[in-house]
Amino acid sequence: MILFALLVAHRVNSNCYKEQLRIYTKVAFTCVMDYTSLTGNFETEDFTMKIAVTYDNGNIFQHFGKTETFKVYEVEDNKVVSSEVIGSNGEGHGALAGLLAGQNVDVLICGGIGGGAQTALAEAGVELCSGAQGDADQAVEAYLNGELTSKGATCDHHHHVEGHSCGDHEEGHSCGSSCGGGCGSHTTMEGKNVGKKCRTHYKGTFNDGTQFDSSYDRGEPLEFVCGAGQMIKGFDAAVADMEVGQVVDIHLMPEEAYGMPNPEAIFTVEIAELPGSEDLEVGQQVYLSNQYGQPFPVKVTAKEETTITFDANHEMAGKELNFKIELVSVE
């Protein structure tokens, strides 16, 4: 099984989950526990959207207000079908929001971004995913897979020390990591492997010794960009300063892994509004898809005559986890 559980947990907003939900019949990834893919003839519809990324030579540019180019991705049914690079025309913070809105952009993925720009984007109806780092194409794929979430990372120009501005970070220290949280990021992360593509073997166990996943068993290392928010906090932090060939054993509290269960991740919808849900049973695990076509796993926790309740909390939420990690390579 592919370890979806190591990828950062999809953050939950119960209100957005209730909008245009549909049962997802195309399994894009698997989890530590097997989720059932519904195969009935449920009605689905194609979703289209545009995602823009602050862009610089293949990577995510780290200062929204100074970006000179955006890469804009056309997405249909949760898959990228085309992309193009457009210029910012020298526009500043506020005007850039209008530029993106004029391109019918639905989502912006970026590094650091100021509070004023965030407000302008919100007013323009552009969803923000800030604090992202690394390869632009990979970030978009991670977003579409529900693995990239935003904490509203900001670049506070009034609190940088000694004239240090968001556009002038040293030694690769970017707004995506230093000016607050971001897409799947947690706190400022430092280490020689941050921002690099790492391949690791690992074995994950619970405190009673039960193994829940292992890349060794699959014979294929896990590949990710360290510090880019693709991994849970504790795993990322452990790899940040490892040497190739080194093996470490770590113990993670829930706060370093999937956090505690979120009550807002439990939501109830009308069965009539979700075709196919009438056939679901309590305890069944399925995928739903939101208005952007992004799949997310849920468990049916209750079912009444006209309503059905789902729990979108990650199955590892609230659990302490142990990992044996071996760093195979760094690029």
pLDDT of residue 260: 92
Domain with CATH 3.30.420.130 in the chain: 46-178
In the DSSP assignment, the letter for residue 112 is B
Q: Which of 51, 70, 113, 213 is flagged as catalytic?
A: 213
| Tens digit of each residue's pLDDT (9 = 90 or more) over 269-296 | 999 988 888 999 999 988 786 655 556 7
Q: Pairing relation of β-strands 59-60 and 69-76?
A: unpaired
| pLDDT of 176 above 60 | no
CATH architecture of 197-259+317-330: Roll (3.10)
For residue 329, what are the CA distances in angstroms to 189, 200, 231, 320?
Answer: 20, 7, 17, 27
pTM listed for this prediction: 0.51
Domain with CATH 3.10.50.40 in the chain: 197-259+317-330
Q: Which residues pair with 223 in a beta bridge?
A: 199
In the residue annotation, 17 being an active-site residue is answered as no
In the residue annotation, 212 being an active-site residue is answered as yes
In the residue annotation, 241 being an active-site residue is answered as no
Q: 32 and 1 in contact (C-beta within 8 Å)?
A: yes
Q: Which residues contact 102 (CB under 8 A, 6 or more apart)?
A: none
| Tens digit of each residue's pLDDT (9 = 90 or more) over 100-143 | 988 999 899 998 887 778 878 888 888 888 888 899 999 999 88
| Tens digit of each residue's pLDDT (9 = 90 or more) over 202-245 | 999 999 999 999 999 999 999 888 887 778 889 999 999 999 99
| pLDDT of 19 above 60 | no
The dotted CATH code for 46-178 is 3.30.420.130
Q: Which residues contact 172 (CB under 8 A, 6 or more apart)?
A: 194, 195
| pLDDT of 85 above 90 | yes
In the residue annotation, 56 being an active-site residue is answered as no
| pLDDT of 33 above 70 | no
Q: Which of 17, 55, 143, 212 is flagged as catalytic?
A: 212
